[in-house]
Structure 1
Amino acid sequence: MGSSGMRSIRVGAALAVGGTLLLATACGSSSPKGGGTPAPVPPGGGKGGAASSPSPTASSAVLDLEPKDGTQDAAPTALKVGVANGKLTQVTVTDKSGAAVQGSISADGTDWVPATALSVSDTYQVKASATDDKGVATTASSSFTTLTPSKISRSQDNVVTGSTYGVGMIVSVDFGMPIKNQKAAEAGITFEASDGQQVKGHWMGNQRLDLRPQTFWKPGTTVKVHFRLKNVEVSPGVYGNSDRDESFTIGRSQVSTVDAAKHTMTVQTDGQPDQSIPISSGSDEHPTYNGTMVIEAKEGTAHMTSASVPGLKPGEYDLQVPHSARLTDSGTYVHGNNWSSHDTFGSENVSHGCIGLEDDPGNQGGPNTPAAKFYDSSLVGDVVKVVNSKGAQVAPDNGLSGWNMDWSAW
């Protein structure tokens, strides 16, 4: 090959090398010596690096809200908020009026439960937040409606708010139907006593709940009773339907002891000397119950008839009886007796099971007789104890006779 051919090849190689060098210089500097157009700097900076930004990270915490969003006819006890793989940080629950529902997060942070059952026939909004072990947060919300009860029970009791009762007062609640969830129903009735006494309940069958302290109330005690049964399922599909507050005061102490064998009643009243009253209690054929009873009603003049005593022959009666204070549901009273002679009282037992005190003739009795004075001094809730009778022990559910049960059995 000639020299001119060799020179042509070398020039081409030099141009190729020069092009390569110029390209390297242009890529390596934004301001190359000798001019040229600066290369654009990529977003995010860096020496020749490409742009970089972190990807969003999903929380591994998983929230579980019960009832589910959109649920209808939820039970008032159905609300619960939980989280898996994390801990709850905040839970807010409001009813349809915007009022907040109180509740608490568990110690381990995995659950939240309301302090009380929700209201029936209401709508609730739930908002919850949680974080996983890396601090990444997640949220969830739901809305649901609680059921409207199709069946309700009553909760009728023997308390009149503002009244004063004796130291033996027992609060008795009649539900009017068999109660299946007795613990839930009982938990819906709470007491506040000014002397701090604990009050417990005992079921007398499956419809009636009696509540009392361990010992007789202290005179002067104020008692508040809180019924919160409206949202309590007392039996399957049946709700209590009553939220109310009641209160009463315990008056002076008056405890009367009837000695059937001695035909006397000794009345012990705070601050006064004991009073002994001649009485006539139940005959041998119809003896008075033994045990501790409580005046459950003051009935004034009561209509008493032997028709309520099956098989009573002879000895039928139909009387208007003055100054009648009821002790048992079965018909035991302390009452005025205005048909027996004066000598009967303190010496004979002639009644059909009641405790008779001397009274004057007439349906109303007299105003100053032993019967009238005892009746006027008595309160519902006063204690009447009977000893030395030939009768049986009074049953705890016969009237307000629950004091005959030991506290351990109550």
Structure 2
Amino acid sequence: MTPPDNGTAPAKHPKITKRRTLAAAAAVLIGGSVAVTACSTGGGGHADSKAAASSAPTTQAPTPSQTPSALSQASQDAAAAKHTSAAKITITPKSGATGAKVSGAVKVSVSGGTLTSVTMKSKATGHTVAGKLSADKKSWTPSKALAHSTQYSIAAAAADTQGRPAAATATFATAAAKPSTFVGYFTPEDGSTVGVGMPVSVNFDHAISKADRAAVQRGVTVTSSSGQQVVGHWFSAKRLDLRPQSYWVAGSHVTLDLNLRGVKGAPGVYGVQHKTVGFDVGRSQVSTVDTKSHMMTVVRDGQVVRTIPISAGGEGHTTYDGQLVIEEKDQTTRMNGATVGFTDDDGKGEYDIPDVPHAMRLSNSGTFIHGNYWGDPSVFGHANTSHGCIGIEDVKGGKDPSTDAAWFFDNSLVGDVVTVVNSPDKVIQPSNGLNGWNMTWSQWLAGSAL
């Protein structure tokens, strides 16, 4: 990555990975990027909600006389547990961290198995960072100091004694060379095509003081070929999101100008960036998930193009209500209940599914809409059985393009909107992911420093 004082901004902001109060760590499987999340049978639960007591796990298949509502969450978890690897990978720093030290801070370790591969790269340049694997293959560290003000990604794979794979990923940023500068990591990426719900989100590597937020916000401008007014909202001292009053106009082009060089962000701290990037807004697609009817209606450019049976969050693990924006897509994802507090008496996750197909993240805290191959087909369109995510019928490996899950994945863009209605849960927090649309326009304007 080119140093910030040469005017180059990182291409993406680091991921925020809290599932309300607990982390949802990212991970990867060989052949596809993955994220360890809060989901099972369709789901990702809420970490601040007490999990309802589960019946004893069973792997007995449901008989034809059983109704979908009789399929217990415990039995679904037991089915998923067959695929669990004993190898557990830990990556330090945690995904989403900023300000990491350039020396001695990065380590990949594994328990219950051995590391089979570790790849660390600069997000901006794609250059691979050389590293050292310990003799026992239990840990890996970089061979030399990292660059300052640089965003890195790590993808690690391991196997337990039975050869069952495990994987993990993390994205983090190193500290600036001097505490006197700040940079902003932005999304979406330059040159990308996104859905109509995609806001511009900028995460700063140094807290911006309240007294200086107006000056910094004036240095971050977003304009659209549609002529829509775009206003910024400060979710925290390090995060500024910008969006219009309503969704972007389909087919418009949006430009982000970062004119922060020399702009004061805090006492003695000044910006170093001067950069212009742009992205295109694709067709309009908004999908509505009705948790009572267990159906999702996909509307593209005002026309219904598909109606898909789903299974949402079950009792005690309900799905968030509100407008949720797809913020990332992964062909394959790992979902581990332990990352959000869904554990058995032994401390292990109630479920740990290493190969969840067609996964699209809807919140930073672990809500996904994804394919489900382990749940009984009878639940889709009839019952809510997940830990909070939205599940769509799929096959193991996700290689069948005729499934509803494959169709929805292939026909979705990052930035598309999935609106959840009739859920007994509360509306998702606007700062949890890219979900600022759950604020009224007056609430959004109140968060502007201008």
TM-score, normalised by the number of residues in structure 2: 0.56
CA offset at residue 178 of structure 1? 1.4
Q: How many residues of Structure 1 are paired with residues of Structure 2 in the alignment?
A: 262
Identity of aligned residues (%): 50
Task: Give the 3-state SS of the residue equivalent to 1:162 in structure 2.
Answer: coil
For structure 1, the residue ranges without an aligned partner over 5 or more in a row are: 1-148
Tell me what 2:440 maps to.
Answer: 406
**Which whole-Å CA distance do the structure 2 matches of 1:334 and 1:197 have between them?**
30
Alignment map for 1:281-360 (pairs within 5 Å): 281-313=312-344, 316-319=350-353, 320-360=355-395
Task: Give the 3-state SS of the residue equivalent to 1:204 in structure 2.
Answer: strand
Matched, 1:172 2:206: no
- One-letter code aligned to 2:316: E
Answer yes or no: is the 8 Å Cα contact 2:297–2:304 preserved in 1.
no
CA offset at residue 158 of structure 1? 1.1
Given candidates 236, 243, 249, the residue that maps to 1:205 is 236
**Which whole-Å CA distance do the structure 2 matches of 1:273 and 1:258 have between them?**
13
CA offset at residue 188 of structure 1? 0.3
Task: Give the 3-state SS of the residue equivalent to 1:308 in structure 2.
Answer: helix
Per-residue CA deviations over 1:356-405 (Å, capped at 9, x if unaligned) read 0000123x453221001000000000000001112111000000110000
Per-residue CA deviations over 1:126-161 (Å, capped at 9, x if unaligned) read xxxxxxxxxxxxxxxxxxxxxxx8611120011211
Cα separation, partners in 2 of 1:152 and 1:269, compared to 1, 3 Å: same
Answer yes or no: is the 8 Å Cα contact 2:222–2:242 preserved in 1.
no
**Which whole-Å CA distance do the structure 1 matches of 2:290 and 2:272 have between them?**
45
Alignment map for 1:3-22 (pairs within 5 Å): none
**Which whole-Å CA distance do the structure 2 matches of 1:217 and 1:255 have between them?**
12
Per-residue CA deviations over 1:236-285 (Å, capped at 9, x if unaligned) read 11112111001011100000000011111110012643421000000111
Per-residue CA deviations over 1:69-108 (Å, capped at 9, x if unaligned) read xxxxxxxxxxxxxxxxxxxxxxxxxxxxxxxxxxxxxxxx
Higher-RCO chain (CA-CA 8 Å, sequence separation at least 6): 2
Task: Give the 3-state SS of the residue equivalent to 1:348 in structure 2.
Answer: coil
**Which whole-Å CA distance do the structure 2 matches of 1:365 and 1:399 have between them?**
29
Tell me what 1:134 maps to.
Answer: none
Larger radius of gyration: 1
Q: What's the Cα RMSD here?
A: 1.6
Per-residue CA deviations over 1:153-201 (Å, capped at 9, x if unaligned) read 1200112111111000111100022111111111101122111111101
Tell me what 1:250 maps to.
Answer: 281
**Which whole-Å CA distance do the structure 2 matches of 1:202 and 1:313 have between them?**
40
Tell me what 1:366 maps to.
Answer: 400
Per-residue CA deviations over 1:113-137 (Å, capped at 9, x if unaligned) read xxxxxxxxxxxxxxxxxxxxxxxxx
Answer yes or no: is the 8 Å Cα contact 1:260–1:386 preserved in 2.
yes
Runs of 4+ in 1 over 6 A off after TM superposition: none
Given candidates 268, 271, 276, the residue that maps to 1:240 is 271
CA offset at residue 354 of structure 1? 0.4
**Which whole-Å CA distance do the structure 2 matches of 1:353 and 1:256 have between them?**
17
Answer yes or no: is the 8 Å Cα contact 2:251–2:280 preserved in 1.
yes
**Which whole-Å CA distance do the structure 1 matches of 2:215 and 2:331 have between them?**
38
Answer yes or no: is the 8 Å Cα contact 1:323–1:365 preserved in 2.
no
Tell me what 1:162 maps to.
Answer: 191
- One-letter code aligned to 2:367: T
**Which whole-Å CA distance do the structure 1 matches of 2:299 and 2:343 have between them?**
35
**Which whole-Å CA distance do the structure 1 matches of 2:399 and 2:318 have between them?**
24
**Which whole-Å CA distance do the structure 1 matches of 2:254 and 2:275 have between them?**
14
Cα separation, partners in 2 of 1:259 and 1:397, compared to 1, 3 Å: same
Cα separation, partners in 2 of 1:279 and 1:311, compared to 1, 3 Å: closer
Answer yes or no: is the 8 Å Cα contact 2:194–2:282 preserved in 1.
yes
CA offset at residue 292 of structure 1? 0.5
- One-letter code aligned to 2:394: D
Task: Give the 3-state SS of the residue equivalent to 1:409 in structure 2.
Answer: helix
Task: Give the 3-state SS of the residue equivalent to 2:442 in structure 1.
Answer: coil
Alignment map for 1:117-266 (pairs within 5 Å): 151-180=180-209, 181-266=212-297
- One-letter code aligned to 1:383: V
**Which whole-Å CA distance do the structure 1 matches of 2:431 and 2:206 have between them?**
17
- One-letter code aligned to 2:237: N
CA offset at residue 308 of structure 1? 1.3
Task: Give the 3-state SS of the residue equivalent to 2:408 in structure 1.
Answer: helix
